[in-house]
Amino acid sequence: MSLPLLENLNPEQRAAVTLPHESALILAGAGSGKTRVLTTRIVWLIQGGQVSPHGILAVTFTNKAAKEMMTRISTMLPINTRGMWVGTFHGLANRLLRTHWREAGLPQSFQILDSSDQLSAIKRLMKAMNVDTEKYEPKKVQWFINGHKEAGRRARDAEAFDEYSMRMAELYEAYDAQCQREGVTDFPELLLRSYELLYRNEPLREHYRDRFRHILIDEFQDTNTLQYRWLKLFAGPHTALFAVGDDDQSIYAFRGANTANMAEFEREFAHGNVIRLEQNYRSHGHILTAANTLIAQNAHRLGKNLWTAEGDGEPIRVFEAYSDQDEASFVVDEVRTLNREGIALSDMALLYRSNAQSRVLEHALFSASVPYRVYGGLRFFERQEIKHALAYLRLLTNPEDDGAFLRVVNFPTRGIGARTLEQLADTAARSGTSLWQAACTSGGKVAGFAGLIEAIKASTRDLPLPEAIDHVIEASGLADYYRADKEGADRLENLNELINAAALFSEEGGLPDAPGPDTAPDAPVATESPSELDRFLAHAALEAGEHQAGAGHDALQLMTVHAAKGLEFHAVFITGLEEGLFPHEQSTLKGTSANEENGLEEERRLMYVAITRARRRLYLSHAQSRMLHGQVRYGLPSRFLDELPEQVLLNLNRRDSARTSGVQQTAGRYGAPVSRNPGHDTGYKVGQSVAHAKFGTGIIIDFEGRGPDARVQVKFRDAGTKWLALAYARLSPA
């Protein structure tokens, strides 16, 4: 056996790589070298003659991970890896079905529908069956079908207890029949069909059990119910399963991931044979201490403790901002300082819990001319729902805008089909007019759309800009559309953030270089100043069009924490650490205490993932106030901050002058306005953290009265919002 293969492995890694022919669970902590262990294990088995390359089944969750594994194997072994079964669940299921298409009941050249193709097929089916698409929305039918497939259930197994669910099950059955006639499958069908093939075909199942003597699974914590059942069909009495994962990094429950699969695997296959990879090769000690202490609060975990030989490193910097703008200004200043010190922008990451938070951060970066790149997503003003809302706004100010008209004339759906729009375009071309003018004279549903725009325009004429945009989002049907969308919560948050952007734009007076009336002495005629809406639309176009760095250019990385999993950076900023934001409010609104606890545990795992992205420098920030739905709201610091050990934290304080509580606004360290104090002579101010003997800690959000008669409204972390008479409340600064 080649000793150089093992010489750079630590004792735990070596123990995992050189395991005898037995099943084991490898608990691989963040930054512990799990990919190296997985690929080295494969090479060890092949090099030692324990198995041929064709006797290995290796499963990953992304094509990128599969390609990386194949590349590493081919550099360590002089073999052709093309014949090896290494790939994603769906890729391997497709391979199985292509090989045994006849046994699976499929045509040899069956095609795979992506998500949009699947939705189109469902719409075509529903039209043929004359189904009311308002009562049975095609998107919801798609979720129903895919949800049942991913749980391993056919239409006959779907729970149907009323007219609606029975009809959904009928549509599922009809959709399956349509796909079978047309010789196509969707992505969930690949795994379900291959599972059914192996389950009912014992000779085929035994063939693959005999062939694959070693099965290795990466990111095991992300497996769902059907994926685990699929894997178990390959496991015969002589099969060794090598499952690598980290239950502390299980963050995809919303996709169906079942973290309990790890504990079940330990009982069913590993039988207590667990190897913990705890030495971290990424982060300094203070960062790991914070991560370990935080995740220890979770009750349902297999348990491990990360450590490093690299020393403690720098303390974790914690910044309390006055507002979300102040927070963004702080981040920009720190990024520029680090960049001047020689840290590449691309080696810094700015993380947030939800996409809507990026808008304020992007605005600050844009204003400071700091190039950035949104990783795994779109810039704020390029997101679908924002472009829809902006298209409605563009029609209010310029109904001749054909591009805006076409974008939203049938979104949300109004029954205006492609044929109708073709006829409308022909009418407009013949008369030399815009689509809008043609619509106004055409009658029918397109005229109804024109009437809707006119009604919205009349309703918003005298409203402030943020209220006008709020009304447009509601009256257009966008809000209701995304409320009904199973995956629409983030899009609704983004639409609310558009209202916040408008409020900030109005507060700042709009674009500083916006053209106004021409007052030059030689001006022949004074031109009219553009409306605030026109200026806001120009502002949105400018921010959408610049400062997203191109490929190959050094740029700050912006992303959600979910998108950051698997990545690492020299410096990481985790922003928006407030209750209701991170942890997200949905994690505490699950209906039962058990579900609430599970939701909080997943949020805590998400925070653990965020912390462990940092190698050397970590910043945690939160804001006393944040713009929500166009209004300033006051929040509490995240409970996760309280769960971190104080000895590894460094609080970044503002100048004393910035803490002044006078009636006038004062400037914070980074120039953002501090909310004025409506408490006057009480000694307290809005945004101040306080403690109460009975209700615990909270934050002041409002005042009423003066002096000894004053009342204060406090939002408590655990006791809700309460009005308290200051003379009797016995509050103290927290």
State the burial class of residue 280 (Cβ atoms within 10 Å of its Cβ: 0-12, 13-18, 19+).
buried
Distance between CA atoms of residues 270 and 699, nearest Å: 49
| Cβ–Cβ under 8 Å, residues 587 and 542 | no
Return the H-helix or E-strand segment holding 358.
Answer: helix 358-367
Distance between CA atoms of 58 and 325, rounded to whole angstroms?
A: 47
Residue 113 CB contacts under 8 Å (≥ 6 apart), including other chains: 121, 179, 184, 185, 186, 187
CB 593, CB 331: distance < 8 Å: no
Active site residue 613: yes
How far, in Å, CA of 233 to CA of 195, rounded?
8
DSSP-based three-state secondary structure for 174: helix
Report how far residue 135's alpha carbon sits from residue 133's, in angstroms, rounded to the nearest whole number: 5
| Angle separating helix axes 138-150 and 187-200, nearest 10 degrees | 30
Other C-beta atoms within 10 Å of 266: how many? 19
In the residue annotation, 249 being an active-site residue is answered as: yes
Tokens 């000895």 belong to residue: 647
SS3 683: coil
The three-class DSSP label of residue 722 is strand
> What pairing do the DSSP bridges indicate for beta strands 614-628 and 631-634?
antiparallel
Of the residues 249, 357, 460, 682, only one is catalytic, namely 249
Structure-token pair, residue 169: 């099950």
> CB-based contacts of 597: which residues, under 8 Å, 6+ apart?
299
For the question of residue 35 being annotated catalytic, the response is yes
313 φ, ψ to 5°? 75, -160
Is the peptide bond preceding residue 412 cis, with omega within 30 degrees of 0? yes
Which residue type, as a one-letter code, is found at position 39?
Answer: T
Contact, 685 vs 698, CB < 8 A? no
CA 676, distance to chain mean position in Å, is 35
Which among 381, 289, 354 is positioned nearest to 603, based on CA atoms? 354
Contacts of 184 (CB under 8 A, 6+ apart): 110, 111, 112, 113, 121
Verify whether residue 227 is a known catalytic residue.
Answer: no
Active-site entry in 14, 18, 35, 137: 35
Residues with Cβ within 8 Å of residue 648, at least 6 apart in sequence = 286, 287, 289, 290, 312, 315, 316
Q: Report the largest interatomic distance among the alpha carbons of the chain, rounded to a whole angstrom.
A: 94
Residues 214 and 238 sit within 8 Å (Cβ to Cβ): no
Q: Is residue 218 annotated as part of the catalytic site, yes or no? A: yes
Single out the catalytic residue among 186, 218, 266, 470.
218
Q: Are 542 and 510 in contact (CB under 8 A)?
A: no
From 276, 282, 604, 613, the catalytic residue: 613
Which one is catalytic: 12, 150, 186, 219?
A: 219
Q: Supply 47's token pair.
A: 């090099």
In contact, 265 and 238? CB cutoff 8 Å: no
Strand 214-217 relative to strand 56-60, pairing: parallel
With CA atoms as reference, report the closest residue to 357 among 641, 610, 575.
Answer: 575
Distances, alpha carbon 120 to alpha carbons 110, 113, 175, 410, 570, in Å: 18, 10, 11, 16, 44
Contact partners, residue 506, CB within 8 Å, separation at least 6: 464, 465, 466, 532
What is the 3-state secondary structure of 516-547?
A: CCCCCCCCCCCCCCCCHHHHHHHHHHHHHHCC
The CA–CA distances, whole Å, from 255 to 146, 296, 452, 598, 714 equal 11, 24, 37, 15, 37
From the candidates 12, 34, 278, 612, give the one annotated as an active-site residue.
34
Catalytic (active-site) positions: 34-35, 218-219, 249, 613
